[in-house]
């Protein structure tokens, strides 16, 4: 399954394009722009599994830095600051990684 099976390709392009400047990434705006906020809980979980590149059941900090590439291969990497901000927002239990339920909550709060 690819991201465009779940989300509109044009929405992905616009959302990725809106955050091309370093340190401009805002996960709340991004999740809204890409259409993830409107998706069912099952679809949000499917997106999580696409972003979980090593299939560990978690999005670790190194994977989080490449989150935009999960939506569009030619997107930029997040800066260290952006990655840490996103991890702090999503890692509710403080274990240094984001699980599927934490990701779902992160999207719902957007």
Return binding residues: 52, 54, 56, 58, 63, 91, 93, 95, 97, 102
Bind-site residues for Ca(2+): 52, 54, 56, 58, 63, 91, 93, 95, 97, 102
What is d(CA 67, CA 3) in angstroms, rounded to the nearest whole number?
12
Helix (H, G, I), strand (E, B) or coil at 59: strand
Helices 100-108, 41-51: crossing angle, 10 deg rounding: 120
- Two structure tokens written together for 19: 């955050």
What is d(CA 81, CA 9) in angstroms, rounded to the nearest whole number?
27
CB atoms within 10 A of CB 28: 13
């Amino acid at each position: 399954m690819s991201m465009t099976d779940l989300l509109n390709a044009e929405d992905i392009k616009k959302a990725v394009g809106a955050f091309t400047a370093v340190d401009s990434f805002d996960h709340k705006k991004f999740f809204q722009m890409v259409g993830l906020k409107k998706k069912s809980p099952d679809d949000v979980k499917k997106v999580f599994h696409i972003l979980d590149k090593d299939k560990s059941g978690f999005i670790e900090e190194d994977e989080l830095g490449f989150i935009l590439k999960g939506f569009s291969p030619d997107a930029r990497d997040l800066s260290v600051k952006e990655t840490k901000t996103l991890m702090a927002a999503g890692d509710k239990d403080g274990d240094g990684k984001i699980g599927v339920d934490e990701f779902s909550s992160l999207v719902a709060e957007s």
